[in-house]
């Protein structure tokens, strides 16, 4: 029994040793394979990235003060009624353009018109009485008191006539100025009260824009200064105007003051209530270095840019000795490489952005394909279809 137990233990030991050798061999093979794969990947260089490029330019930009403004009509009101009554006639269509004095609607005025006839009869009678008493007074038959009383009666009737005619005119609703009507607010046969809205009327040419600037800029603006406006509702067009009014007081709550500029609006693309970006042109200019906005890589830790420069082929060959492409061929030194730089940006105008630090005028920067680039990586330049780089872009340039 002891001998059988020894034989069994020896067999178990040899089986364990065999398993260890098998699994150890498999593990060693995996490690060796991964090592060789890593070596191959380390020696295989990434292919050059194709990018478009542009030169950092030095330009002279006119200093501007930026603000957000709200458009307002030069004249804009809700045309209302001055009297109470039933709408008898409507003479306009919603959205129609009208001139000053155009009759828009009329209220019924039959009782008032009938009262005019009564007052006209009283006026004729008062005129005859005054004429007769005047003749009697000249003959010494009538007294001065009678004459004065006749004159007063005539004057009172004439005044009542004027009041009644004014009352009738109040029942005719007219446009107080030329402009464009809004949506009709009344219907035929409707009974309206004084102050009820009939229709909105807006004068759209020219048009105002109201905006605010900081108190520190108060001395930098004056009436007549030019402004440029871009409305979010009409992004493809830029509007020019001039400052026509400056509020003389500063708001103590936010230390700003209000300005008003007037703009031509012949095409009536701008409408009251629209928001717009307003730029006020100040006199002095400044020299800036600009690049296309597409060349900036934005990140929380800082904005960066890739500068494209000629490759040092000798240094590249030393740093990438033995590098091979995916086909196993030896990599050739590139003509261009990308160098990543962190930059500080400034004002944005159109397709261009100001670089205050990090790039010099004349340096070549990548403007597309940034996600494929790496620091000191090889690049191929293809500028057949470059991104837009206009200072004042228009739809035709996009």
Ordered by start, the domain boundaries in the chain are 49-61+288-397, 65-72+202-285, 82-105+174-195, 109-170
Contact of 185 with 161, CB cutoff 8 Å: no
- What's the confidence (pLDDT) of residue 133? 77
Q: Name the band, by pLDDT with cuts 50, 70 and 90, for residue 320.
A: low
Residue 125: per-residue pLDDT: 79
What is the pLDDT at residue 38? 59
At 397, the pLDDT band (50, 70, 90 cuts) reads very low
- Is the pLDDT at 34 greater than 80? The verdict is no
Q: What is the largest CA-CA distance in the chain?
A: 178
For residue 179, which of 101, 100, 103 has the smallest C-alpha distance? 100
- CATH number of 49-61+288-397, picked from 2.40.160.60, 3.40.50.150, 2.40.420.20, 3.90.25.10: 2.40.420.20
CA dist., res. 391 & res. 393, Å (int): 6
Q: What pLDDT does residue 388 have? A: 76
Please give the average per-residue pLDDT across 68-76, as a whole number: 90
> pLDDT tens for residues 287-314?
889 999 988 988 888 899 999 888 776 6
Q: In the 8-state DSSP scheme, what is residue 185?
A: -
- Residue 208's pLDDT band, with cuts at 50, 70 and 90, is very high
| C-beta atoms surrounding 91 within 10 Å | 14
**Across the strands, what pairs with 61?**
286
Name the fold adopted by 82-105+174-195: OB fold (Dihydrolipoamide Acetyltransferase, E2P) (2.40.50)
Instruction: Give the DSSP H or E segment for 85.
Output: strand 85-90
- Taking residues 67-77, report their average pLDDT: 89
Decide if 276 contacts 301 (C-beta within 8 A). Answer: no
How much is the pLDDT for 398? Answer: 42
Q: Give the C-alpha distances (Å, rounded to integers) separating 152 from 130, 134, 135, 145, 158.
A: 9, 13, 17, 10, 10
Please name the helix (run of DSSP H) or strand (run of DSSP E) that holds residue 247, with its range, or none.
none
- As a whole number of angstroms, the distance between CA 308 and CA 330 comes to 23
Whether the pLDDT of residue 44 is over 70: the answer is no
Q: Measure Cα distances from 129 to 118, 149, 152, 154, 158 in Å.
A: 17, 10, 11, 9, 14
* pLDDT at 186 > cutoff 80: yes
Residue 66, C-beta contacts closer than 8 angstroms, at least 6 positions apart = 277, 278, 279, 280
| Dihedral class, residue 300 (left if φ above 0, else alpha if ψ from -120 to 50, else beta) | alpha
Mean pLDDT of the chain: 80
65-72+202-285 CATH fold: Elongation Factor Tu (Ef-tu); domain 3 (2.40.30)
Question: Parallel, antiparallel, or unpaired for β 197-214 and 179-181?
Answer: antiparallel
Which residues touch 160 (CB under 8 Å, ≥6 apart)? 119, 122
Choose among 90, 86, 106, 109: nearest CA to 164: 109
pTM of the model: 0.55
**CA–CA separation, 184 and 271 (whole Å):** 18
Tell me the β-bridge partners of 208.
72, 262
Checking if the pLDDT of 39 tops 60, the result is no
Does the pLDDT value for residue 84 go beyond 90? no
The pLDDT value recorded for residue 244 is: 92
Question: What is the number of other CB atoms lying within 10 angstroms of the CB of residue 92?
Answer: 20
Instruction: Quote the pLDDT of residue 260.
Output: 93
Is residue 231 within 8 A of residue 276, CB to CB? The reply is yes
Name the H helices within the chain.
2-43, 110-139, 144-169, 313-319
């Amino acid at each position: 029994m002891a001998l059988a137990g020894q034989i069994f233990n020896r067999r178990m030991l040899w089986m364990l040793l065999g398993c260890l050798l098998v699994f150890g061999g498999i593990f060693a093979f995996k490690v060796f394979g991964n090592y060789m794969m890593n070596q191959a990947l380390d020696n295989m260089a990434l292919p050059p990235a194709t990018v478009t490029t542009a030169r950092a330019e030095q330009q002279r930009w006119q200093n501007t003060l930026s603000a957000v403004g709200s458009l307002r009509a030069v004249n804009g009101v809700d045309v209302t009624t001055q009297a109470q009554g039933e709408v008898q006639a409507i003479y306009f269509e919603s959205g129609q353009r009208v001139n000053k004095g155009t009759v828009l609607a009329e209220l019924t005025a039959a009782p008032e018109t009938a009262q005019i006839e009564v007052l006209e009869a009283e006026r004729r009678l008062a005129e005859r009485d005054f004429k007769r008493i005047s003749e009697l007074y000249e003959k010494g038959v009538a007294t001065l008191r009678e004459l004065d009383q006749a004159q007063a009666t005539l004057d009172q009737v004439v005044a009542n006539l004027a009041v009644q005619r004014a009352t009738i005119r109040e029942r005719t609703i007219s446009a107080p100025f030329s402009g464009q009507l809004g949506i009709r607010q009344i219907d035929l046969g409707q009974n309206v009260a004084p102050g009820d809205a009939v229709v909105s009327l807006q004068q759209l040419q020219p048009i105002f824009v109201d905006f605010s600037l900081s108190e520190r800029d108060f001395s930098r603006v004056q009436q007549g200064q030019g402004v440029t406006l871009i409305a979010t509702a009409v992004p493809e067009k830029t509007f020019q105007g001039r400052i026509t009014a400056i509020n003389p007081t500063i708001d103590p709550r936010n230390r700003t003051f209000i300005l008003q500029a007037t703009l031509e609006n012949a095409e009536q693309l701008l409408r009251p209530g629209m928001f717009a970006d307003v730029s006020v042109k100040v006199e002095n200019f400044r020299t800036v270095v600009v690049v296309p906005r597409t060349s900036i890589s934005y990140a929380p830790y800082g904005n960066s840019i890739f500068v494209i420069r000629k490759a040092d082929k000798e240094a590249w060959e030393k740093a990438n000795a033995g590098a091979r492409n995916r086909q196993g061929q030896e990599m050739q030194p590139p003509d261009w490489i990308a160098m990543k730089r962190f930059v500080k940006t400034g004002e944005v105008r159109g397709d261009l952005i100001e670089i205050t630090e990090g790039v010099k005028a004349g340096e070549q920067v990548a403007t597309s394909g940034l996600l494929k680039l790496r620091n000191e990586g090889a690049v191929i330049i293809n500028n057949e279809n470059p991104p837009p780089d206009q200072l004042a872009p228009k739809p035709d340039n996009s």
